[in-house]
Chain A
Amino acid sequence: MILSDLVDAAVYEDGRQLGFVVDVRLALDGPVTGLMAAPRIVGLLVSARTSTSFMGYERTGTNAPAVIARYLAYRHRGTFLVLWEDVRTVGGGDAAGSADARVELRPGFRRWSAALEQHGTASQA
């Protein structure tokens, strides 16, 4: 699977559409093969809106310029994190374009906060 198969995929629970995958949360706690651990998929971030103009505001501490931040936060209100374990099937994205991709969640899955804790500031080039 490539990540584009997941991003923008439509998300369903029991046939009912909940929204779209706007991002994929990863944690660097997978097998260590080099200097960095391989990123493990923690879960999917799901918004009722597609991710065209998300720009990261919803999930990080960035809140300026306030006008843009508030608008985007409002557009993406209700965005939640669903854990990878709660993903029942990922499909449709194999041969076709990602627009047809579809993610089915387990019935009774849990919604978690999409917020991303502020970690590390500017890493200088």
Chain B
Amino acid sequence: MSPRVRPRPRVPDELPELPPHLRPAGRVLDARLHLLDRQILDVEDVPVTTLDDLHVSYADGDDDVTSGDRPAFVDQVLTGPVLVTRVFGGRPPASRLVRIPWSDVVDVGVAVRLGVRGEGLDATWVQRWLRDRVIGRIPGGRHDPE
């Protein structure tokens, strides 16, 4: 499972300078550098979850992306069980993916911001369950600290 044991090609110490690619019209982000594992905040700055993975599909919504023939786009932010498989390997079935549509994202900085409230999202169901079944039932759980 560990990628480190795989053989890797040798790299010479001196390498030619590569040409820069034409800068795209929109803002450029590297997925891993700027998006993966960042905190997601809702419209009221309440933490929702972390950005655990991204879902990619072609423009027509077909997510069986197998080649670069056609442009592919990120259409969903994924969270939940996909984090477990990133740590231990494997891949969750599509039915277990917890999705936030990219259209809910309004800003990408040191945190990823959503334009909606976290309350209604699938991504917060565990928290809602804990609130309704455990924390909300303990006296004082719904009051401000003093």
Contact B56 A1 (CB under 8 A): yes
Within 8 A of B (CB), among A76-100: 77-78, 80-81, 83-91, 93-99
Return the contact of B71 from the options A25, A37, A84 (Cβ within 8 A): A84
Q: What 10 pairs across the A-B complex have the smallest Cβ distances?
A: A123-B109, A34-B103, A29-B26, A87-B68, A27-B24, A28-B26, A33-B103, A112-B21, A1-B65, A113-B18
**CB closest residue in chain A, given B67:** A89
Known: A2-B56, A50-B4. A113 touches B21 (CB 8 A): yes
By secondary structure, the B interface counts as loop
Known: A34-B102, A50-B3, A84-B71. A125 touches B66 (CB 8 A): no
**CB closest residue in chain A, given B45:** A125
Q: Can you list 14 residue pairs at the A/B interface with Cβ under 8 Å?
A: A1-B55, A2-B53, A2-B78, A4-B91, A26-B28, A27-B27, A37-B26, A40-B72, A42-B21, A42-B28, A98-B91, A99-B1, A112-B19, A117-B28
Q: Mark A24-64, 1 if CB is under 8 A from B, else 0.
A: 11111111011111111111010011111010100110000
Q: How far is the CB of A101 from chain B (nearest CB, A)?
A: 10
Q: How far is the CB of A70 from chain B (nearest CB, A)?
A: 13
Contact A35 B115 (CB under 8 A): yes
**Given the complex of chains A and B, what is the CA–CA distance between A31 and B72 in angstroms?**
11
Known: A33-B102, A81-B21, A125-B110. A25 touches B28 (CB 8 A): yes
**Given the complex of chains A and B, what is the CA–CA distance between A17 and B6 in angstroms?**
11
Q: How far is the CB of B82 from chain A (nearest CB, A)?
A: 7
Residue ranges of A at the interface with B (Cβ–Cβ < 8 Å)? 1-8, 10, 17-20, 22-31, 33-43, 45, 48-52, 54, 56, 59-60, 77-78, 80-81, 83-91, 93-99, 111-117, 119-120, 122-125
